[in-house]
């Protein structure tokens, strides 16, 4: 096997490491909890989670937790489907 090192930003590396070790990770007041997800499936550019992931967002007075049932790749971001909600989340790269 050929090992090729990949260098990541320290914050991104810590996020991925915590996600793999603990099933949950936090970055900039946003916590992603995958500890209950037992099944993730890919089809095309879509990802589904069963049971859904928990996403907690803490910004100022806002402290909310939603369940994410799936994610898909968009031209300029990532779209997350929020369970039982007409409002979904779109994540964009920092400009």
pLDDT in tens, 34-62: 888 778 898 888 999 888 988 888 888 88
Residue 72 has a pLDDT of 92
Helix (H) or strand (E) holding 91: strand 89-91
What is the chain's Cα-based Rg?
15
Assign 95 a pLDDT band (cuts: 50, 70, 90): low
pLDDT of residue 28 exceeding 80, the answer is yes
Average pLDDT of the chain, as a whole number: 86
Query: Is-contact 9 35, C-beta < 8 A?
Result: no
CA separation (Å) from 62 to 21, 47, 56?
Answer: 28, 27, 10
Give the SS3 label for residue 3: coil
**In whole angstroms, what is the distance from residue 70 CA to residue 67 CA?**
9
């Amino acid at each position: 096997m050929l090992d090729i090192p990949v260098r990541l930003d320290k914050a991104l590396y810590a996020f991925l490491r915590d996600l793999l070790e603990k099933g949950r990770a936090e970055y900039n007041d946003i916590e992603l909890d995958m500890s209950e997800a037992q099944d993730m499936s890919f089809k095309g550019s879509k990802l589904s989670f069963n049971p859904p992931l928990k996403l907690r967002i803490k910004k100022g007075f806002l402290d909310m937790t939603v369940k994410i049932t799936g994610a898909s790749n968009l031209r300029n971001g990532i779209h997350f489907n929020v369970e039982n909600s007409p409002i979904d989340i779109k994540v964009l790269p920092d400009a």
